[in-house]
Structure 1
Amino acid sequence: MRLSVEPSTSPADYDFTHQIRVRFVETDAMGIVHHSNYLAYFEETRVAFLAHVGHPFTEWREAGLESPVLESFVTYRQPLRFDDVISVHLALADVTRATFQMAYLITVGDTAHSTGVTVHGCITAATGRPTRLPPWLVAMGS
């Protein structure tokens, strides 16, 4: 297991925030957001973060790189519901030469609803073989 980050429940501990409105299609028969959608919220926020720091995911792809998810972890604290406006807070939490971890906190207002972590590697798109992270990402983690 590569996951080594304990995500905080304090929004102040995160560098980036992205808002998402919960769609009806994301809810289950109990009227709450299905657990699988939390990972999609993390992904949408991760893509927005990369664009925010000036390295959109399209740049990775143009450079022939991919950043597959190697591990993911989610703690569900309070249910999310249709039409909630959620804030997904993200922090680049741990960076090595070959992997990086991102921590997430989902809030509605002042209430923590979920925390999570994703662990990513870096591979070449052409061969699918592991490669080092881009230097700008390693520098951000320092």
Structure 2
Amino acid sequence: MTTAVHTYGAVVPQAVHFDDLDAMGILHNSRYAVLVERATVVWWAEHGVSFTGGRPTTPDAFNVVREYQITFHTPIRGTGEIDIRFWLNHLGTTSAEYGFQVTSADARTVHAEGRRINVRLDPTTMRPAPWTPEGRAIAATLQRP
């Protein structure tokens, strides 16, 4: 796949900085996960789900990544703006499966794509806990058709 075609979910621009690059001037593979994380955190914070003063603003902010899978297609060479496109493939009782693409800002090139699974935790027991109705309503706007 070379072109971003999804019209659902969210698109959050992210900057690639010089210190994100490896010795060959290519975005280091470990930075893709960081950029996807930053984009999803920005989107959820814009919807009231974040951490303020070291505390979650809602119970749904207390979640962890359980699984992460990525396929690399075309290297990102150098610095500049890229887009992180993400959506929900599935929202379970306690987990959420995101799909994502890392694309050029013009959406013509898909540099990488994959999925990640987050699990909401109870902060006391550190065991999976159900998403709140409010969190589910916000997440529904990301749902893949």
TM-score under structure 1 normalisation?
Answer: 0.82
Question: Equivalents in 2 of 1:69, 1:94: separation in Å?
Answer: 15
2:40 maps to which of 36, 39, 46 = 46
In structure 1, runs of 5+ residues without a counterpart are: 1-8
Unmatched tracts of structure 2, length 5 or more? none
Aligned residues of 2:66 and 2:119 also touching (Cα < 8 A): yes
Aligned Cα RMSD in Å? Answer: 2.2
Following superposition, the deviation at residue 106 of structure 1 comes to 1.1
Report the identity percentage: 23
User: Residues of 2 paired with 1:93 and 1:57: CA distance?
Assistant: 22
Query: Is the 8 Å Cα contact of residues 9 and 87 (structure 2) preserved in structure 1?
Result: yes
* TM-score (structure 2 length as normaliser): 0.81
1:56 equivalent in structure 2: 49
| Structure 2 residue aligned with 1:95 | 91
The answer as to whether partners of 1:70 and 1:118 remain within 8 angstroms in 2 is: yes
Going from structure 1 to structure 2, the CA distance change for 1:55 and 1:92 (only over 3 Å counts) comes to: farther
CA distance in 2 between partners of 1:20 and 1:62 (Å):
24
Match of 2:131 in 1: 133
Shift of 1:73: 0.5
In structure 2, do the counterparts of structure 1 residues 13 and 73 end up closer, same or farther at CA, with 3 Å as the change threshold?
A: farther
Q: Is the 8 A contact 1:79 1:113 kept in 2?
A: yes
